[in-house]
Amino acid sequence: MTIATRMQRIQPFHVMALLARARELEAAGRSVIHMEIGEPDFMTPQPVIDAGHAALTAGLTHYTPATGLPALRERIAQYYLERYDVTVAPQRIVVTPGASSALQLVLSALVNPGDQVLLTDPGYPCNRNFVYLLNAEPVGMPVGAETAWQPSVQQVREHWSANTAALLLASPSNPTGTLLDPASIRGYLDIIRSQGGMLIIDEIYHGLTYGAAVPTALSISDEICVINSFSKYFGMTGWRLGWLVAPPALVPELDKLAQNLFLAAPTLSQHAALHAFDRDSIEILEQRRECFRQRRDYLLPALRALGFAIPVQPEGAFYLYADCSRFTDDSFALSNRLLEEAGVAITPGIDFGSYRASHHVRFAYTTSLENLQEGVRRLREYL
Amino acid sequence: MTIATRMQRIQPFHVMALLARARELEAAGRSVIHMEIGEPDFMTPQPVIDAGHAALTAGLTHYTPATGLPALRERIAQYYLERYDVTVAPQRIVVTPGASSALQLVLSALVNPGDQVLLTDPGYPCNRNFVYLLNAEPVGMPVGAETAWQPSVQQVREHWSANTAALLLASPSNPTGTLLDPASIRGYLDIIRSQGGMLIIDEIYHGLTYGAAVPTALSISDEICVINSFSKYFGMTGWRLGWLVAPPALVPELDKLAQNLFLAAPTLSQHAALHAFDRDSIEILEQRRECFRQRRDYLLPALRALGFAIPVQPEGAFYLYADCSRFTDDSFALSNRLLEEAGVAITPGIDFGSYRASHHVRFAYTTSLENLQEGVRRLREYL
């Protein structure tokens, strides 16, 4: 058996080993505060659960079209109008089994082996692995707090090469929770218009922002690909449902790929998701957003008071990316020590890239305020 | 925007256009007998639906581990023991979002760009496209009724090259419904043991066989990868759930890929599938198998009587792959004419490869016996 060469470049996530160790400790009776998990602690809103029951009762268990239920594509389009005041044709929307599949579809349709895809370092770790899957080259642009963890237009221009097929960014970003500003998006588009390529923006944490209303990148241009998900804001992780909005010319290619790669997104999930946009669902989701905001507003100053440096206030997602260089030059070792000795699980920077990774850790506020307070108490005692 | 070169090689399925045309005709009031659809007409068995309700009520909406719920991996292992008397360690089982993702995982872990993957022509059309996705080369081995549409050991030996990474076969096969015989499997393994590479056997139509009990290829060797699905025998297409059994050394690679490519299979589907193996589910499924057998036993002689040549009796799946050269040298044109002029939808051979494709069409018996009888009546009248 010969393993494909790409598998050497695709690394498992360190946090998975850390999570497994945390489960071991818990099984042995130890208490662990989980601030490593990238999944909302809330369950799916009851109106969506109810819609799932109704779909099951109606026996809706067969395949849907590869691009998704027409009614769901229309409902998502309507959501863009309601929430963002942006008109998106339903025909530009492709429903996928999670945002992961959306990322895979769009990269597979656009990226040849040997091509480059520009990403941020730090950034969502699966992104570079989707690029490796296609035997292409992820190019991490180092970003720091001084640019709110997003690349400057100048930086993108400098990294662009004849082989660059796409620029893939996230807003809000994982692990930093920071946003792209519209002026930068316009600047990236100027580069792409002259150089070719595609701007792909991951908006899966959209909806989970805690300041002024944030526009979707689709309000700036319809030449870009935008990826979104029912997992985070809508609290539907295990349903495996996402979507992407693409320029019209790309949709037939995505449809063709979807027919081959996954046939269709889960049918029950699609029927249930039709009700994720209902007024009673949105009310629940907005209460949860307020909970996340309260958690951020507690955790951010608490971590700063402990000595973690978080120079830019993260405006979204449920992460704080903290500089821990006051405590260590090895954030991976620190993460392990905090788990073993303080009973606090966090994610080491190395899972998100290499730039300043050993000086950073990610805290997720996907657990209750009480748990966060206990976690901070344990950190204070230990550090 | 520049589309990746692989997209030129990945073709849409002709049957999709035909299906869309059929829907148009139906919307205009015409009656169409559907014998083109590769999906069981039965809905999911009630005990599985009930388990889905229970999982929803319990709020089981979060992610599972990337390789699947441990309980489901164990239950699948138990099924191999109960049904096939084969011991499979649960740790070798990876639960996936449909067999499509299982195919993608195993090929991505084993196949480099430029490698060759041996397939049958005719064969399941997505297989070659999974290979194109990785910028590798599908090599179609022409197979005919004289070898029950499966390659001889000699044929595999002749097609094997230094670049061959895998041999991917299906038993029962789509579109032909024929089985691999154990002696051939042993012969393929001899080649692979001397040449390197992997034998991958798609058993997604297993369970849907109509003669003597058919052993799984896992009873012959644990060096192979076997892919299966809850879609066909278990009647769970829209739930998007499958699995694969791999050699132990490959599992960590598949786990790593699954973490990146799809995070996990749908949670509700996994909890529901735990009950697909219950005695009351299996009773329903066995009744359905008997229905499919009756349909085959009606349709096979009826098509032969009309002048279609089907020299080998298909033992499984729900397809008959018929030689239509008595009527045409262009099975694609015939399929279109039959839809437009006779109101019968079937799939042209070209969707399954190129070898003798213009002389073949696929009939699916995924509709009631009454519909099949009406379809045959229309065919008789038209032809």
CB contact under 8 A, A267 and B12: no
| HSE of B142, CA atoms in CB hemisphere, 13 A | 4
Q: Name the residue among B108, B240, B247 with its Cβ closest to that of A97.
A: B240
Q: What is the mean pLDDT of residues A161-172?
A: 98
| HSE of A120, CA atoms in CB hemisphere, 13 A | 27
The pLDDT value recorded for residue A16 is 84
- Per-residue pLDDT of B304-337, as tens digits, reads 999 999 999 999 999 999 999 999 999 999 999 9
DSSP A339: I
Please return the burial class of B382, using the count of CB atoms within 10 Å of its CB with bins 0-12, 13-18 and 19+. middle
DSSP string, B228-282: EESSSTT--GGG--EEEE--GGGHHHHHHHHHHHTSS--HHHHHHHTTTTSHHHH
Q: Which helix (H) or strand (E) holds A93?
A: strand A93-96
pLDDT digits (tens), chain B, 383 positions: 899 999 999 988 888 889 889 999 999 999 999 999 889 999 999 999 999 999 999 999 999 999 999 999 999 999 999 999 999 999 999 999 999 999 999 999 999 999 999 999 999 999 999 999 999 999 999 999 999 999 999 999 999 999 999 999 999 999 999 999 999 999 999 999 999 999 999 999 999 999 989 999 999 999 999 999 999 999 999 999 999 999 999 999 999 999 999 999 999 999 999 999 999 999 999 999 999 999 999 999 999 999 999 999 999 999 999 999 999 999 999 999 999 999 999 999 999 999 999 999 999 999 999 999 999 999 999 99
Nearest chain B CA: its distance from A381 CA (Å)? 32
CB contact under 8 A, B261 and A104: yes
Q: At what angle do helices B279-306 and B46-57 cross, to 10 degrees?
A: 140
Nearest chain B CA: its distance from A91 CA (Å)? 16
CB contact under 8 A, B247 and A109: no
Please give the class, per CATH, of domain A6-43+280-382.
alpha beta
The pLDDT value recorded for residue B296 is 98
Nearest chain A CA: its distance from B27 CA (Å)? 16
Percent of the residues in chain A that have a pLDDT greater than 90, as a whole number: 96
- Residue A382, SS3? helix
The ipTM of this complex is: 0.96
Q: Name the residue among B5, B61, B250 with its Cβ closest to that of A112.
A: B5
Q: Name the residue among A49, A112, A266 with its Cβ closest to that of B239.
A: A266
Provide CATH code, domain A46-278. 3.40.640.10
Q: Retrieve residue B113's tokens.
A: 């760009």
Return phi, psi of residue B193, to 5°.
Answer: -65, -35
Residues from chain A contacting residue B250 (CB–CB below 8 Å) = 1, 3
Residues from chain B contacting residue A10 (CB–CB below 8 Å) = 256-257, 260
CB contact under 8 A, B129 and A2: no
CA distance B85 to A119: 50
pLDDT of A371 > 90? The answer is yes
User: How many C-beta atoms lie closer than 10 Å to residue A16's C-beta?
Assistant: 16
Q: Apex CA B56: angle with CA B51 and CA B57, to 5°?
A: 95
Q: Name the residue among A53, A130, A267 with its Cβ closest to that of B53.
A: A53
Cβ(B231)–Cβ(B99) below 8 Å:
yes
CB contact under 8 A, A61 and B236: yes
Return phi, psi of residue A381, to 5°.
Answer: -65, -45
B6 closest CA partner among B124, B117, B129, B126: B129
Cβ(B149)–Cβ(B176) below 8 Å:
yes
- Tell me the CA distances in angstroms from A34 to A15, A125, A367, B167, one per residue in order: 11, 20, 7, 44
Q: Retrieve residue B187's tokens.
A: 């012969």
Q: What is the mean pLDDT of residues A177-198?
A: 97
Nearest chain B CA: its distance from A4 CA (Å)? 5
Q: How confident is the model at residue A13 (pLDDT cuts 50, 70, 90)?
A: confident
Q: Name the residue among A61, A112, A253 with its Cβ closest to that of B238.
A: A61
Among A268, A281, A352, the residue to mutate for chain B (most B Cβ within 10 A): A268
Nearest chain A CA: its distance from B365 CA (Å)? 16
Please give the class, per CATH, of domain B62-277.
alpha beta
Among B61, B204, B251, the residue to mutate for chain A (most A Cβ within 10 A): B61
More confident residue, B352 or A16: B352
A161-172: b (≥16 Cβ within 10 Å) or e: eeebbbbbbbbb
How many A/B residue pairs have CB atoms within 8 Å? 223
User: How many C-beta atoms lie closer than 10 Å to residue B43's C-beta?
Assistant: 17
CA distance A332 to A339: 11
CA distance B302 to A77: 48
For chain B, the straight-line distance linking the first and the last C-alpha, in angstroms and rounded, comes to 48
Query: Where do the structural domains in chain A lie, given as residue ranges?
Result: 6-43+280-382, 46-278
Peptide bond just before B175 cis, omega within 30 deg: yes
- Tell me the CA distances in angstroms from B210 to B168, B175, B309, B318, one per residue in order: 23, 16, 20, 10
pLDDT of A12 > 90? The answer is no
CB contact under 8 A, A268 and B268: yes
The pLDDT value recorded for residue A17 is 87
CB contact under 8 A, B59 and A53: no
Determine the residue of chain B that is closest to A1 in CA distance.
Answer: B197
B316 alpha-carbon distance from chain centroid = 11
- Per-residue pLDDT of B148-167, as tens digits, reads 999 999 999 999 999 999 99
Q: What is the mean pLDDT of residues A133-158?
A: 97
CA distance B342 to B364: 17
CA distance B98 to A258: 13
Question: Which residues face B242 on adjacent strands?
Answer: B96, B229
CA distance A247 to B310: 46
Q: Apex CA A352: angle with CA A347 and CA A354, to 5°?
A: 115
Q: Name the residue among B7, B63, B247 with its Cβ closest to that of A237.
A: B63
Cβ(B202)–Cβ(B12) below 8 Å:
no
Q: Retrieve residue B27's tokens.
A: 């919307």
Residues from chain B contacting residue A39 (CB–CB below 8 Å) = 62-63
CA distance A175 to A331: 15
Among A103, A260, A270, A347, the residue to mutate for chain B (most B Cβ within 10 A): A260
Q: Which residue in this structure is represented by tokens 């792409």? A: A192
User: How many C-beta atoms lie closer than 10 Å to residue B279's C-beta?
Assistant: 7
CA distance A375 to A321: 16
Q: What is the pTM of this model?
A: 0.97
Q: Name the residue among A16, A112, A235 with its Cβ closest to that of B4.
A: A112
The pLDDT value recorded for residue A14 is 87
B245 closest CA partner among B63, B131, B80: B80
Among A261, A267, A288, A347, the residue to mutate for chain B (most B Cβ within 10 A): A261
Determine the residue of chain A that is closest to B128 in CA distance.
Answer: A260
DSSP A212: S
Among B194, B240, B253, the residue to mutate for chain A (most A Cβ within 10 A): B240
- Per-residue pLDDT of A289-341, as tens digits, reads 999 999 999 999 999 999 999 999 999 999 999 999 999 999 999 999 999 99
Q: Which helix (H) or strand (E) holds A140?
A: strand A137-142
CB contact under 8 A, A13 and B237: no
- Per-residue pLDDT of A90-101, as tens digits, reads 999 999 999 999
Of A14-28, A101-115, B153-167, the range with the lowest mean pLDDT is A14-28
- Those residues with Cβ within 8 angstroms of residue A139's Cβ, 6 or more apart along the chain or in another chain: A116, A117, A118, A119, A159, A164
The pLDDT value recorded for residue A19 is 87
CB contact under 8 A, A260 and B197: no
CB contact under 8 A, A267 and B238: yes
Q: Apex CA A245: angle with CA A240 and CA A249, to 5°?
A: 130
Domains A6-43+280-382 and A46-278 share a fold: no
